[in-house]
Amino acid sequence: MEPLLSVNHLSVTYKGNSLALRDLSFSMNKGEIIGIVGESGSGKSTLIRALLGLLPEGGQYIGGVISFQEKVLLRESQSDWGGVRGKRIAMVFQDSGSYLNPIRSIGSQYIEAICTHFTVSKKAAYTLAVSMLANMGLDDPERIMRSYPSQLSGGMKQRTAIAMAVTMEPELLLADEPTSSLDVTTQNEVMNRLNELRSRQGTGMIIVTHNIAVAAHMAERIGVMQDGTLVEMGDTFRVISDPQHEYTRKLLSAVPELEGSVHGS
């Protein structure tokens, strides 16, 4: 089976300074969920942005190949994310609610996004949006469609943004700390909804988080990043129960309640 995503020897720098990503390689299959964990500054957010060609200003690819279903997105700094970004690969940011336009209703933004990617009427787009908001566990989705972002809580905005991303039926969803700004109850709700999405649509996911417990709950494999390098990657249960790298052991020692919550256990 051909991989959904393949990353080979990817390196990224910022403004010519030290490497933010160092010779990083991994691949993933369709429908697989991978958790990328590490402390702030480890390079995990740079990785997820690099995969979509969204490096911040000053970021530069200096080596490597990124392939998505055998379509080369990056080879020797030549990018070709057109037709892939947003539709086939979608991204959820840490505070996706802040990316919503504050002076437009949720409904107008949502309908426009759907009509941009699908050939459907505005009425059909509205019906689809309401259905997706309900699937994300949001009560009274019609009211949310009428609301402006400032009228929604942080958790509601985050779930709305995730609903908008997954409506595009992406083959790969990149999620950068998607639950870190949410309370525990809402975190669990969002994680459950993402798992349902994978089950329903076969969407592959890369979930970046500083919380290895979140990764253990969601992912089949965990990659551990330190100083721009993948220091360890493997089956979730193996990484949790028999960590090979000292840094992985350090992360695990900070989460004593993790035992028993591992994916698949």
Identify whether 141 is part of a domain. yes
Residue type, 6: S
Does any domain span residue 28?
A: no
Tens of pLDDT, residues 56-77: 888 899 999 999 988 888 875 5
Q: Indicate whether 78 pLDDT > 60.
A: no
Q: Is residue 126 part of a domain?
A: yes
**pLDDT higher at 27 or 263:** 27
Token digits of residue 258: 């993790």
Q: By the 8 A CB rule, do 138 and 156 touch?
A: yes
Q: What is the pLDDT of the chain when averaged over all its residues?
A: 88
248 three-class SS: helix
Task: Assess if residue 139 is contained within a domain.
Answer: yes
Tens digits of residue pLDDT in 217-260: 889 999 999 999 999 999 999 999 999 999 999 999 887 665 44
Beta bridge partners of 39: none
Q: Is residue 132 part of a domain?
A: yes
Q: Report yes or no on 129 lying in a domain.
A: yes
| Residues contacting 68, CB < 8 A, separation 6+ | 4, 5, 84, 88, 89, 172
- Note whether residue 1 is domain-resident: no
What value does the mean pLDDT take over residues 190-211?
Answer: 86
Candidate from 1-10, 58-67, 148-157, 189-198 with smallest mean pLDDT:
189-198
Residue 198 is predicted with a pLDDT of 85
Does 120 fall in a domain? yes
Q: Tokens for 36, please give them.
A: 């990328």
Domain count, the chain: 1
Name the residue range of residue 148's domain: 98-169
Residue range 8-21: average pLDDT?
88
pLDDT (tens digit per residue) in 105-161: 999 999 999 998 899 999 999 999 999 999 888 899 999 999 999 999 888 898 898
The pLDDT score that the predictor gives to residue 217 is: 87
Q: Where residue 18 falls among pLDDT bands split at 50, 70, 90?
A: confident
